[in-house]
Homo-oligomer: A and B are copies of this chain.
Amino acid sequence: MTADSPHIQRLKQAGYRLTQARLTVLEVLESEHGHITSAAVLGKVEGINPAIGRASVFRTLDLFTQLGIIRPTYIDTSLTPTYVLMHGGHHHHVICTVCKRFYEFDDCGLEALTRNLEETLDMRISGHLLEFYGLCAACQKRSAAPA
């Protein structure tokens, strides 16, 4: 399952062991195409392999975040962050602030800005997250309609 995803390569290459906990968390993340809360990851992992402990799930989410595989964001105002998968170091989406539905998109046209910032700030940039906030068509109608 998700045999040799680039994320697994990243883990190996960084010298980390391919453990059940890590592979299972990755499987869950990829099955959700990212956009999953820590609570949901916890639940799904337990469903797949109850022998995996909570602590390992959190340790894995931290590790993946450090490696740039995922990135935590606040989508619902709940207690728990939502993790998005970073493809090639970046991720872009539009979120409806009312119904929380989201739409991912690929082309962000930020290459020039990235190079520009690298030069200006003398930094090496490895990725980015771009989130747009707004109202989807359905929620626009709903908020326009009277009670």
Contacts and interface: CB of A to CB of B under 8 A. Distances in A.
B126 A133 contact: yes
A124 B117 contact: no
Given A74-B73, A77-B65, A131-B128, A117 B137 contact: no
Given A127-B132, A132-B127, A132-B128, A113 B122 contact: no
A124 to B, nearest CB: 5
A112 to B, nearest CB: 8
Interface stretch (A10-18, A43-51, A101-109): A101-109
- Interface residue tally on A, bucketed by range: 35 or more
Given A77-B65, A108-B113, A109-B113, A134 B130 contact: no
23 contacts: A62-B77, A68-B97, A72-B74, A89-B133, A94-B121, A103-B121, A105-B117, A109-B109, A109-B113, A110-B130, A114-B132, A117-B132, A123-B134, A123-B135, A123-B136, A123-B137, A124-B135, A125-B132, A126-B133, A127-B132, A128-B131, A129-B129, A129-B130
Given A94-B121, A123-B134, 8 more contacts: A105-B117, A123-B135, A124-B134, A127-B133, A128-B130, A128-B131, A129-B131, A130-B130
